[in-house]
Structure 1
Amino acid sequence: MMHPKIYLLLFALVAFQVQAQDYSQGLKSPANPHAVFPVKHSFNTGDTLRVVTWNVEHLVDSIDDPYVNNRMENAAEVKAEKMQLLALGLASMNADVVVFEEAESANAVQALRDAYFPNLGYQYITDARSRNWYQNVVIMSKLPLGEITSYGNVHTPVAFTEDGQEKLQSQDYINTRMWSCEVLVNEAYFLNITGLHLKAGPKDRDKAMRLGQIRFLKSALEKQVRANKKAKLLVLGDLNSFSDSEEISTLLNLGSKKVRLFDPLPNDVFTHPADEPSRRLDYILYNKNLAQDIIPNSCRVAPLFSPQEMRVISDHLPLQIDIMVK
């Protein structure tokens, strides 16, 4: 007769094997065969996927982060009118993925979601935030998120001329506002979304800082396509650059064919300021691998409310784009 302890051991082994088998037969991530979709995930975007980018101007909660010393965060109050309009705007756009610029953190966005738009389905929220600054880039998604790569520890060059002197500096303090994140659409389809909020300002040093960020970013995108030659790249955010600038030209054209980016919007589309748009600072760009999936003429400024109401939400207008899931 089998000893009871041996029986229990065999039972546990069989149970483990069944559990392992069930795990291996789960819905695998298209980005990594050793990762899976969440067991309880049920949302299906269907044949199309909508992505939105929106600089939401000082989107903070009412909790003071002791590690962030800034008056806009230290004594921040949640503006109810702003949040109510933002919630209505998000419901109207019905995006599957939203990337916010100038959001305090994933924690703050999650708390505001729970308070103002808990039923819109944005279950997955993450960031790669700064440890001491309140303006970060946060991704909010109805679809599971995979690996996120932060560029916040990278020092990028700042080469510029000031008072007739050539200067070379470096910076890493705003590179936290650059990251790349996998968005898992279904078992066969995923995107590499890169969220950006580049350095603001018209000075030569500001431009040099943006160019340093952009040149590094293009090298990071090259690594993505070397790892996966079919990588579908979507690069979006507040680039603080005009469409005819050296920065945008560099971002579009630098590098191999796989990382050259396309801008679907004409030069007369403006996103800032929200109540009287006169310039474009915000972009949604994509590479050749993704271009075939872009629904024609779907990239646009989202028409939501009156100019005055849009300005209550932010000084920027949102951009959206639709993608055919193949």
Structure 2
Amino acid sequence: MSRNVGSRRRVRRAVYPAISVAVAGAFTLTALPAAYAAPSSTVVISEVYGGGGNSGATLVRDFVELGNAGTAAYDLSGYSVQYLPGSPSASSLWQVTPLSGSVAPGGRYLVAEGAGSGGTVELPTPDATGSIAMSATSGTIALVSGGTALTCKTAADCAADSRIVDLVGFGSAVVREGSGPAAGASNTASVARAASLADTDDNAADLASGTPTPVNSAGQGPGSGGGDDGGGDDGGSTEPGTVRVHDLQGTTRLSPFNGQTVTRVPGIVTGVRTTGSRGYWIQEPQADTDARTSEAVFVYTGSATPTVSVGDSVLVTGKVTEYYPSSTSQSVTEITGPTETVLSSGNPLPDAVVLDAGSVPDGYAPTAGGGSIDALPLQPAVHALDFYESLEGMRVEISDARVVGGTTAYDEMWVTVKPQESPSARGGTLYSSYDQPNTGRIKVMSLDTTTAFPEANVGDELTGTTSGPLDYATYGGYNLQATTLGAVADNGLEREVTRKQSKKELAVATYNVENLDALDEQEKFDRLAEGVAVNLGSPDIVALEEIQDDNGAVNDGTVGSEATLTRFTDAIRAAGGPRYSWRYISPENNQDGGEPGGNIRLAFLYNPERVSFVDRSGGDATTGTSVVKTKKGARLTYSPGRINPTSDAWDSSRKPLVGEFEFRGESVFVIANHFGSKGGDQPLHGRYQEPNRSSETKRHQQAAEVNTFVKSLLAADKKAKAVVLGDLNDFEFSQTVSTLTDGKVLTPLVGTLPAAERYTYVYDGNSQTLDHILTSPAVTHYDYDIVHINAEFADQASDHDPQIVRIDISKCK
């Protein structure tokens, strides 16, 4: 059961402002201290139910009920309830529902959460409304003093967070109070306290399963309130009320009517969404004179499929809410729990606002010193995010727009309405600095569920006119929900094939193969193999990122990758490549991040007919290699080996793999990397401006470790030939790269390409560089190429483009 704005989403390997890459890890179950705090004698979480709308359920929504065992009202202003999955991964985030009002002494307070497609009985009118899709069987709910999302993911860490007022873990939840989680939650059963609301800070003892019994602050039970969010009865009147859409939208991001019921708001239905976040948009045809106030609003119908049609003139009654798709996103102003009266049908739609280079400002977002921009007055002529917000829900249109992000598996593509904005060499839009996020990008989806969404690659054109309501979602921010969709004109984008190295050139490549494991379909192996054998020209050495263990995300302690690499090298051979050998170091189980049980690691493939691997045993998951100075130059103590693997810099992250190779009598040191992801960073389009890029701290530490290792190599032999490469999860202009190159010990090769060719990844329509090759000063003669075969295409073998450097060793003396 879920509520997703705009479209269904897969679990991405990472979610962050400008890119996405692998991030996940396993969290160990830690025993909870005796109690979070003194057992509460006032407000507690009295009941939790996550089966709403599921198979067999009677109620249509999930809920959390609070109870007050005290003798005085308990003020909830500024509080929130928050949800964490029962077995959180590194990428799991607490989801937040803000609260307001208070709980009367002896009273209850009802928080409605996500709605499913089943069930027949509405909750009583809730006191607060969120959209969290809770698990029916396992999870953690916290009552929190404050609205900022928690970050703890173990019982011990949450026990130390003083903001947590009460906490309930149910099912098999890792985070819970006391001896264990409350048992028995299901599609048809909640977990609830006894009527006395007794709290001993032991979830297993304090809560028991039973039939869900939600009660709101008015003492109402199921079926006795106003449905999803209230709204009341408009009495069947056909006269508009006093509030217009631009009134409830207001001049900031937050509605001045937030939390209030509005009656008989008039508008024309401009779009209907029957999947995902169901509902429809209405737009006031008589606009006011204030450019800051949107004339449209989304009417959220919950689990019910809308019964209105485009062109209907309606009066809508319901509660105004600000829905936050995530804790860091902007909000969507909505009318929830609606009742509507259709006055007439077939009405002409309001004119669409044209999005183009002339209408969309060049400035991206207002700044608030890293704080929320929610309350700032909109300046639609100055900032693109303000401009889009001033059009929230309104009909917009684009014409003949270039595709800058290929069609995804979720029927969406990115286009630019600014053809001259930061063009790449192959038709994309370059992301080349933090202060140039490219304001012309916008995501396009379709409200038509009967027609296949067109497949497009970067550089294609969405021809004709595309129009529909402007929506906002967690992934990508503002998006056009098309009711009229243009056609795709194929621009003929082709996958690149680089030249083959000469006999004197050592070819070293890097390729992120996106969680490859032995259980994957043969088609994935074959396509990745073709990329190595054909598009990369069969390099002598290939550093691979995201090789998983032999059974992938099966979490059974398996750590070896022999079957995975055997299948991959067999496929490369079948594609016309050489018979590669390999080297890697298995991680300790669930210690290197990635999917739990996947045991992601780095690996070297090498062609033994062209290059030799210098084996020096002793390196393992926790024993790092070092550099020894000899009369013949530098050598490694262990090869393959890891760089300082017990350093805090590598906690729950991939450790660099170092190998010593020989080519035509020369030693070459190759250092493969996969730095920590951008998971947890605030998005470019979010409500916090400027966004906090908290994940950078880890990558800066990791870059410093690699830089220190390279310096030790050059201290032993200033002419040492080193290649540092891999998925650094950061941009060429980032501090991560400058930290890695500190002391001029490495040269980033991406800077040697023309600016329009500097990208290896496409995220939210921004072509950007995440993968890098850097070389030591002794590597003086080389030819470098990023080989574009994946990132720009709708049909991808991986989401990263590989790259290669060909080094003329004979001239590097």
Q: TM-score, normalised by structure 1?
A: 0.68
Deviations 1:94-117 (A, max 9, x none): 211111111125524432135422
Aligned counterpart for 1:231 among listed residues 720, 745, 767: 720
1-structure distance, mates of 2:581, 2:766: 32
Is 1:240 equivalent to 2:729 in the alignment?
Answer: yes
SS at match of 2:781: coil
Distance change (3 Å), C-alpha of 1:95 and 1:208: same
Alignment partners' CA distance in 1, 2:568 and 2:525: 9
Q: Superposed, which structure 2 residues align to 1:83-232 within 5 Å?
A: 83-92=525-534, 93=536, 94-104=538-548, 106-118=561-573, 120-133=577-590, 134-142=599-607, 143-146=611-614, 147-151=639-643, 153-156=645-648, 171-176=650-655, 178-187=656-665, 189-201=666-678, 202=681, 204-232=693-721
Q: Secondary structure at the match of 2:695?
A: helix
Residue 172 (structure 2) aligns with: none
Match for residue 523 of structure 2? 81
Name the CA distance, whole Å, in 1 between partners of 2:653 and 2:788: 30
Cα separation, 2, equivalents of 1:313 and 1:241: 21
C-alpha distance 241-270 of structure 1, shift in aligned 2 (>3 A): same
Residue by residue over 1:70-109, the C-alpha shift from the partner in whole angstroms, topping out at 9 and shown as x without a partner, is: xxxxxxxx22222211122212122111111111255244
CA distance in 1, matches of 2:737, 2:791: 29
Between the aligned partners of 1:125 and 1:274, the Cα distance in structure 2 is 31
Conserved 8 A contact 2:580-2:605: yes
Find the aligned partners of 2:540 and 2:566 in 1 and give their Cα distance: 19
CA contact (8 A) 2:511 2:544 kept: yes
Over aligned residue pairs, what C-alpha RMSD do you find?
2.6
Task: Tell me the residue number matched to 1:271.
Answer: 760
Amino acid paired to 1:185: F
Match in the other structure for 2:746: 260
Task: Assess if the C-alpha contact under 8 Å between 1:144 and 1:183 holds in 2.
Answer: yes
Deviation of the 1:211 alpha carbon: 0.6
Give the equivalent residue in structure 1 for 2:787: 302
Larger radius of gyration: 2
Large movers: runs of 4+ above 6 Å: 274-277
Superposition pairs for residues 43-62 of structure 1, below 5 Å? 46-62=503-519
Rounded Cα–Cα distance in structure 2 between residues aligned with 1:276 and 1:59: 25
Alignment partners' CA distance in 2, 1:317 and 1:107: 25
Corresponding residue of 1:163: none
More helix by share: 1
1:320 and 2:800 are equivalent in the alignment: no
User: What is the identity, as a one-letter code, of the residue corresponding to 1:99?
Assistant: A
Q: What's the CA shift for 1:129?
A: 3.1
SS of 2:778's equivalent in the other structure is helix
1:104 maps to amino acid: Q
From the superposition, tell whether residues 213 and 184 of structure 1 become closer, same or farther in structure 2 (CA, over 3 Å). Answer: same
Note the C-alpha offset of 1:317: 0.6
Contact 1:60 1:103 in 2 (8 A): yes
1:293 paired residue among 776, 781, 791: 781
Q: Tell me, in whole angstroms, the C-alpha distance in 1 between the residues paired with 2:728 and 2:540.
A: 22
Counterpart CA distance in 2 for 1:230 and 1:213 is 24
Distance change in 2, residues 1:184/1:222 (3 Å): same
Residue type at the aligned position of 1:218? N
Q: 2:17 maps to which residue?
A: none
Secondary structure of the corresponding residue to residue 725 of structure 2: strand
2:471 alignment counterpart: none
With over 3 angstroms needed to count, the CA separation of the structure-2 counterparts of 1:284 and 1:250, relative to structure 1, is same
Q: Which has the higher contact order (CA 8 A, sep 6+)?
A: 1
Does the CA contact (< 8 Å) of 1:275 and 1:308 recur in 2? no
- Secondary structure class of the residue paired with 1:289: coil
Letter in 2 for 1:172: D
CA contact (8 A) 1:251 1:261 kept: no
Q: Distance in 2 between matches of 1:276 and 1:302?
A: 19
1:194-253, Cα deviation, whole Å (9 max, x unpaired): 10000001364421110111111111111111222211111100000011111112112x
Q: Is the 8 A contact 2:508 2:540 kept in 1?
A: yes
- Higher mean C-alpha displacement, 147-156 vs 96-105: 147-156
Q: Give the length in aligned residue pairs.
A: 245
2:708 equivalent to 1:251: no
The Cα of 1:190 is off from its aligned counterpart by 2.1
**Secondary structure of 2:586's partner?**
coil
- TM-score norm. by structure 2 comes to 0.28
The residue identity in structure 2 corresponding to 1:89 is G
Q: CA deviation at 1:303?
A: 4.1
Q: 1:323 to 1:114 in 2, by over 3 A?
A: closer
Q: Identity over the aligned pairs, expressed in percent?
A: 23
* Cα 1:232–1:225 shift into 2, 3 Å: same
Per mean C-alpha deviation after superposition, the further-off stretch among 217-226 and 190-199 is 217-226
Query: What SS does the aligned partner of 2:513 have?
Result: strand
